[in-house]
Structures are given as structure tokens and as C-alpha cells.
Amino acid sequence: MIQGPDNSAPSNPAFLSTDFWGGSSKSWLCLVLLLAACLGFYSNIFNLIPRWEQREESQSPEAHHLQDQPDSLPLSQDKHTVVLHRLLLEKTEVRLVYPKAQVLQPTRTDVLVMTPWFAPIVWDGTFDSAILDAQFRNITIGMTIFAIKKYTVFLKLFLETAEKYFMVGHKVNYYVFTDRPADVPQVPLRQGRQVVVLEVRNYRRWQDVCMHRMEMISNFSRQRFLHEVDYLVCADVDMKFSDRVGVEILAPLFGTLHPGFYAADRGSFTYERRALSQAYIPRDEGDFYYAGAFFGGSVLEVHRLTAACHQAMMADWARGLEAVWHDESHLNRYLLYHKPSKVLSPEYLWDERMLRRPPYLRKLRYVAVPKNHAEIRNR
């Protein structure tokens, strides 16, 4: 190799570059790695800071919904942060304190509390109202009441007692079907509750009113109730509430044990026994006998039930048939083959004049009022 006068390496740029990188490559590599680590760290920090301009364009509908809530926290683009905020909010909203259930100490051993298809039968002592009220927050319950002809005389007592005992603390729409809107009384209502008068035609016979009740509930469920309420309770107006009836009754579909048949065998049930009828139930079939005076569920399920019953009644009518107990016969047929998800005990439907109260019936929640059927029904 040719050397310079001072025995140093020639001033060749290529040579200088090779010596530079070769002599200190490890130091430079460390610096590069350190710089990359710093950039990554600060990038993560900046990602935690809300980018407001981008958030307005890219925020999901769920985030918009949360932001609209007055007690929600500022949201970043991090989905995990959104979930965390929601969990924090939910955690601080509700605190439930109640006695622990004892697995080996059932609350009721004197009555059946579960059907063979695992639907609960609701009796006093089988539920905790505080837990259920928390689960059913922010819902609206609709109640259909038919006050045709002179049945309007029952409205005042019905509504007054309902305001005292029915779904206390929840929003309620009382849907009053009547041919006499002027006779609907003015009753003081709790906040979030209202009476909605639905004017309908009357019918010559009370049986025809019963038969067309299913049709009207079905039509209004599709046209209106689906958009206004979450659950629908269908009740007779010639009754009164005498104790608490709350969200423990709510389910996708519920029926109520008839007070006259809850302890009877199926051979005693007054099902429709004519095979030509759409309400026909053979003598070796049947779970319970359900009352037509108190049933309900989600609006969609009530619509399905009432539509099916109405279609069956129209098929019978075309053959010149009328089921023995009209809409109640068709209700029992439907609930036999479309099992209710909850069954209400006779606490939720009783007649003190006709029946002696047994000791296991701790409460009477919804009871018949005295009336002259001949005077009321066909006038």
C-alpha cells in the first residue's frame, strides 16, 4: 500500500467512510435504537390524548350515544377506554344490598314454584322486588283495559287502585278501549304515567266484545304499542288491585292460573272439547287452566298470541262455531303449545266472594269486584 509522507493513510473518501463505520458502528447502532424507543414511547403518549378533529369524523354510533349522556366522560379513540368509561359509570350508578339466597333453604315448600318446562310460578316469597326493580329500570309498561258500554263504571276504582299498587316506580300507559270516551274518569296519576283513550265500537253481546278483544289488541300492538311500550299487560276492568303487582310478573310471555282450577286435575278443566274447534284440547293434554282476565308479555309476543287467537276464532266463526269460553278457550290452546315463560299464581287473580282463601295464598293482589252481570254485560 502506498503511504503518505507522514506514513498516514491516504486521504481517500472511501477509505475514511469504511474506517468511520467500522470503528464506531456499535455506538451508532445504540443511538438509533434509543431514538426509536423514544419515538415509540411518545407515540403511545400522544395516542392517549383525544384528537378532537378526527373524533368528530370517525366516532362510532356507540360512542356518540355515550357522549350524549350527561354523566359520561370524554372519550378517546381507544375502544378499551370507551368500555372502561362505561364500566365505571355503571359501577357507580347502582348498589344493591339484599339477603343472600340460601340454596338449601327454599323460600316456599308448600306450593309448586317451577313448571316442568322451567318457567317460574310466581308466589309471595319467591322473588326480591329490589333486585327486579333494578333489572327493569327505564322500561314502560302498557296495560290494555276494555270498558265497553256500562263497564266504564269500573274504571275509576280500577285506575285508582292501579296507581296505588301496579308497577309503582315505573312508567305506565293505561290503554282504555271504550265506546264512551266521555265516561272515562279523571284520576290523579303518578309522574310518567298516562291514560290513553282508544275509541272503539261496541257490540251487541258481551261474548262478541270478548271475541273481538284479541283482534283489537293485535291490531293496536302492530300499529302503536310496539313503538310506545316494552311490555303489555292485558287485564279485565271489573277488578281492583289490593296489593303490590310489580315487575316480577314481566316475561316474554306470561299467563295466570285461574283461581277456580289451579288445584284441579286436567280432566276438570273447561277446555274446548269439540274437535272441530280451533280451540280444541284433548282430555289427556293440558298443563294448567289459564284465566283470560290477566295475561301479557313483551309487545311482540302478545301480538303473536292475540293474532293467532283472532285467526283461530275467525276460522271457528266460518264453521259456525264459538268456543265454550270464547277468547279464554283460545288463550288456553295457545299457551298449551306455546309455553309461557312465567306463570302467575292465584295471588294475581282471585274472587273473594266465590272462593275461600287457603292459607298458602299469602297475598291477594288483583281481585274481582262485586257486580250484577246481567245488569252490566248487555247494556
**Which residues lie below 8 Å from residue 103, measured CB to CB, with a gap of 6+?**
none
Q: In 10 A of CB 269, how many CB atoms?
A: 20
Cα 116–chain centre separation: 23
Can you tell me the distance from the alpha carbon of 213 to that of 310, in angstroms, rounded to the nearest whole number?
A: 9
261 is in an annotated binding site: no
Q: In 10 A of CB 324, how many CB atoms?
A: 14
269 is in an annotated binding site: no
59 phi and psi angles, rounded to 5 deg: -65, 135
- Identify residue 175 by its one-letter amino acid code: Y
Q: By the 8 A CB rule, do 345 and 221 touch? A: no
151 is in an annotated binding site: yes
State the pairing for strand pair 342-344/231-235.
unpaired
b or e along 346-364 (b: 16 or more beta carbons within 10 Å of the residue's beta carbon)? Answer: bbbbbbeeeeeeeeebbeb
b or e along 160-191 (b: 16 or more beta carbons within 10 Å of the residue's beta carbon)? Answer: ebbbebbbbebbbbbbbbbbbeebbeebeeee
148 is in an annotated binding site: yes
328 is in an annotated binding site: yes
147 is in an annotated binding site: yes
237 is in an annotated binding site: yes
Axis crossing angle, helix 299-318 with helix 206-220, rounded to the nearest 10: 140
Can you tell me the distance from the alpha carbon of 41 to that of 33, in angstroms, rounded to the nearest whole number?
A: 12
**Which residues lie below 8 Å from residue 174, measured CB to CB, with a gap of 6+?**
143, 145, 159, 162, 193, 194, 195, 196
303 is in an annotated binding site: no
Decide if 248 is catalytic. no
Can you tell me the distance from the alpha carbon of 348 to that of 108, in angstroms, rounded to the nearest whole number?
A: 17
Identified catalytic residue from 53, 328, 352, 375: 328
* Nine cell digits for residue 107: 323460600
Binding residues for UDP-N-acetyl-alpha-D-galactosamine: 146-148, 151, 236-238
Specify binding-site residues.
146-148, 151, 236-238, 258, 270, 328, 351
Catalytically annotated residues: 328
Binding-site annotation, residues for Mn(2+): 236, 238
